[in-house]
Amino acid sequence: MKNLVKSRPRIALYPGSFDLLTNGHLDLIRRGQQVFDQLFVAVGFNDAKSSMFTIEERLDVAKEITAEYDNVEVVKLEGLTVEFAAKCEAQFIIRGLRAISDFEFELQLALMNHKLNASIETIFLAADPKNIFLSSRVVKEVWRHGGDVSDFVPPAVFRLLTEKREELLKKLN
C-alpha cells in the first residue's frame, strides 16, 4: 500500500489574550497539541479589553502550565494574527466555540483572517461541556467578589490570583 501521509509537520497557532487563563483554554491547548505536531500558544493583548495581568505575567503563567507538553511553545503575539502565524510557519489557527454567542464573532474573525491569508485555515474546537460556562471575564467577576474559582483555573493561575490579590483588585477598580 502507498504511504499517503504528508510528511510536512502540522503546526497550529492558538491566539488569545488569556487574561486570565482558564481550564477552558487549557483544555483547548491539551486537545490542540494532540491534533497538531506543534502548537504555538500566542499571548496577545486585546485593545477592547483592559487587562488584569501584564503580558509578562500571562506569558510566564502560560509557560508554567504548558511545560508538560513538549510540542507546545508559548510566544508573545505581535502584529496581525495571520502574519504572525505565517512567521511561525503555522498552517492552522485554532479557536474555541462555547455557544452560539461566540459563533458570530469567531466566524467574522475567521473570514477576515481567510481574506488576509487564504493559506491559513481556522479550525474550531467545540468547548468541553464542563467548560462551556467558563470565560475569563466571568471567572474574574466571581473572584473579584470573593467567590472560589479554584475549580475554574489551573493551580498556577489560582496561586497568582491569591499572591497578588490586593494589587490585582486595585487594577480592576
Q: Give the nearest distance from C-beta 31 to ligand ADP in angstroms.
A: 10
Residues 135-154 that bind ligand ADP (CB under 6 A): 135-136
DSSP label of 128: P
- Give yes or no for residue 39 binding ligand ADP (CB under 6 A): no
- Give yes or no for residue 43 binding ligand ADP (CB under 6 A): no
Q: Is 33 helix (H, G, I), strand (E, B) or coil?
A: helix
Number of residues that bind ligand ADP (CB under 6 A): 18
**What residues are labeled active site?**
25, 49, 98, 136
- Return the bridge partners of 43, or none: 16, 76
- Give yes or no for residue 96 binding ligand ADP (CB under 6 A): yes
Q: How many CB atoms lie within 10 A of CB 28?
A: 23
Residues 2-21 that bind ligand ADP (CB under 6 A): 16-18
- Give yes or no for residue 95 binding ligand ADP (CB under 6 A): yes
In 3D space, the residue among 118, 127, 136 whose CA is nearest the CA of residue 43 turns out to be 136
- Give yes or no for residue 74 binding ligand ADP (CB under 6 A): no
Q: Kindly give, in sequence order, each residue whose CB lies less than 8 Å from that of residue 36, ignoring residues fewer than 6 positions away.
A: 10, 11, 12, 71, 92, 94
Nearer to ligand ADP, 25 or 166 (CB): 25
